[in-house]
Every structure is written in C-alpha cells, then in structure tokens.
Amino acid sequence: MRILLVEDTPEIGAAVTSRFERIGYAVDWEKDGRTASELIEVQTYDLIVLDVMLPNMDGFAVLKHLRKRGLRTPVLVLTARSAVDDRIGALDLGADDYLVKPFDYRELEARARALLRRAAGQSDNLLTLGPLVIDRAGRTASVAGQPLDLTRRELTVLEILAARPGRYVAKDELVEQLFSFDQDPSPNAVEQFVARLRRKLAATSVEIKTERGLGYQLHAS
C-alpha cells in the first residue's frame, strides 16, 4: 500500500497525496524525475503514479529505466498529452495504465485500485478471509456481516495482514507500508495499531497472532 507519486505540479501533487493518504496509503511525493528514478533503486513500491513532463528526467525515461531493471511495479502514467501516439508510447514502454489531464480524482483512485488488485491477482475489490470481508473501494471491513469501526490506519493494517494469509508479516514491513519518508512513526506505532485491532476483533473469530522474531499473522475460523 505504499505509493510513489512523481508529479511536479504542486496543486495536483498535494491533492493526489491527500486523497491517497486519506484512504490509508503511504505516499512518497517526488517532483523531479531523476530523483524519483534514484529512489526507485532503493525503495519498493506497490504502485507508481508517474507524470510525463518532469524536470531533469521525463516520465518516459523514468519508466524505461524502471522496466530495464526488470521491476514489475504497476505504473499509472499521468499525461497532458492526449495524442494517441503518446499514449501508445507510454504503454509500449511498460506503463500499465494512463490518465489524461485534467482528470477526475475519483477515477484516479479507481484505476489505482484496479492496478493494485491486478498485481495481487484479485478480480474485485473484496478481500475475504473466512468471515472477514474488506471492501477496498468502500474502505470498510466486517466480520460475519457485522461492520468493524476502524480508523484508516487500523483498516490498512488489517488489509495488509488479510492479503497475506498464512504468512507472518514483520513489524518493519508494516512500517514500510504504513508510513512515507516524511513521517516519523514511533517505535511502538505498529504495536498500538495491532493492540487496538485485537480489542475490536475480540468478540469475533478473527485473531491476530504474534510470533517473536517473525511478526504478525491473521487467523480467521
């Protein structure tokens, strides 16, 4: 759930960052193409939202470098160029989807969800584990039909764990998914989210288990 946004227009960058953070994603916002390309070398992302017209290195060059390295991260290209050749060029370089500016931010969110689903091998927005159902579009969760009252970060933690059934998720991995570079989480932030989730799941058949040295695992019977 960590997104790299590469966009040099302040108004668009701020709006996109705000919308993604509001639904629980961690967002790193870069305005320079070369800096973004260097960042991709050291940080793993679930999705890259990439503008074409950027200083120092345009979006096509960033995309070409990304795919040349063999990285399969989904890329959504933002472009003010409506010409068919430009759209074809982006797709041929390895873009997974594109939006032409100006665009509706709701459509941006929907296309981002679709790319994240595709990368996870899922066909719809519902993530199900036993009686637990998470609606990624509506940003809601329920157990056996009963809604859970969760904050956006609590929902994101639950979503990350539910998307990895049977697997332990390390605390460091959760921090990577929850917080961007400009945020400074306290060392026990993840423990606090998990503790609150356990209280809210206490009366259900869904349980978060902890294994020292491995992390957290979600069980649902």
pLDDT values of the chain reduced to their tens digit, one per residue, 221 residues: 799 999 999 999 999 999 999 888 899 999 999 999 999 999 999 999 999 999 999 999 999 999 999 999 999 999 887 667 778 888 899 999 999 988 999 999 999 999 988 887 776 788 999 999 999 888 999 999 999 999 989 999 999 999 888 899 999 889 888 888 877 777 688 999 999 999 999 999 999 999 988 999 999 87
Give the phi and the psi of residue 29 in degrees, each rounded to 5: -110, 120
Give the phi and the psi of residue 195 in degrees, each rounded to 5: -60, -40
Measured at the alpha carbon of residue 212, what is the angle toward residues 207 and 218, in degrees to the nearest 5? 20
Closest CA to 29 of 56, 60, 51, 58: 51
pTM for this entry:
0.77
Q: Would you call 41 exposed, middle or buried from its count of C-beta atoms within 10 A (0-12, 13-18, 19+)?
A: exposed
Q: How far apart are CA 154 and CA 206, in angstroms?
A: 14
End-to-end CA distance of the chain: 26
**Residue type (1 letter), 197:** L
Q: Is the dihedral of CA 22, 201, 124, 62 positive or negative?
A: positive
DSSP state, 52?
A: S
Identify the residue whose tokens are 């697997």: 167
3-class DSSP assignment, residue 28: strand
Q: How far apart are CA 103 and CA 82, in angstroms?
A: 12
**Residue type (1 letter), 184:** D
